[in-house]
Amino acid sequence: MKSRISPVAASELITRAFQQNGVRPTPQRYFVLEHLLCHPEHATADELWASINKRHAKASRATVYNTLNALVGAGLVKEFALDGKAARYDANLEAHHHFVCDVCNTVEDVEWFDIPLPAAHDVRSLEVVFRGVCAKCK
């Protein structure tokens, strides 16, 4: 869940994930996915852009967005959009819910539990978002 993978451990994972999902490996894509795997804080596109340009290669904002769309399309990353604010991205593929702090806007994963599905609809996916005040902001 909060699996903060080390960059070394991530390396092989990423290479394999790209191969298995037909995603052409580029440095930009590598570093985007690496960051998401190693930092469970649900980064925004802009945070990813800043992080990559600080440490590694250069990547334009447009490329970060392209990359994220490619990774989401390949099923390697999930997008989590909240209320007009910038979308957040998550490489945690295990099913889980979310908790959003009303004060600092950080997002935490919440362990999955089943909820009843409305019989009247053809439900393919669902999302549960809890809101409140996180431990740090109390």
Exposure string over 5-34, b if 16+ CB within 10 A, otherwise e:
beeeebeeebeebbeeeebeebebbbbbbb
Would you say how long the chain is, in residues?
Answer: 138
Residue 132 site contact among a second copy, DNA, none (CB < 5 to 8 Å, cut-off depends on kind)? a second copy
Radius of gyration of the chain (CA): 16
Residue 42 site contact among a second copy, DNA, none (CB < 5 to 8 Å, cut-off depends on kind)? none
The answer to the question of residue 104 lying near DNA (CB under 7 A) is: no
25 — phi, psi (to 5°)? -75, 130
Binding site for a second copy (CB under 8 A): 79, 81-84, 87, 97, 99, 102, 108, 110-111, 113, 115-118, 121-134, 138
Residue 63 site contact among DNA, a second copy, none (CB < 5 to 8 Å, cut-off depends on kind)? DNA
- How far CA 57 is from CA of 53, 117, 130, in Å, comes to 6, 45, 36
**What distance in Å separates the CA atoms of residue 110 and residue 99, rounded to the nearest whole number?**
6
Give whichever of 1 and 57 is closer to a second copy, judged by the CB atom.
1
**Residues 32-71: x/- map of binding to DNA (CB under 7 A)?**
------------xxx----------xxxxxxx-xxx-xx-
Within 74-103, which residues bind DNA (CB under 7 A)?
Answer: 81, 84-87
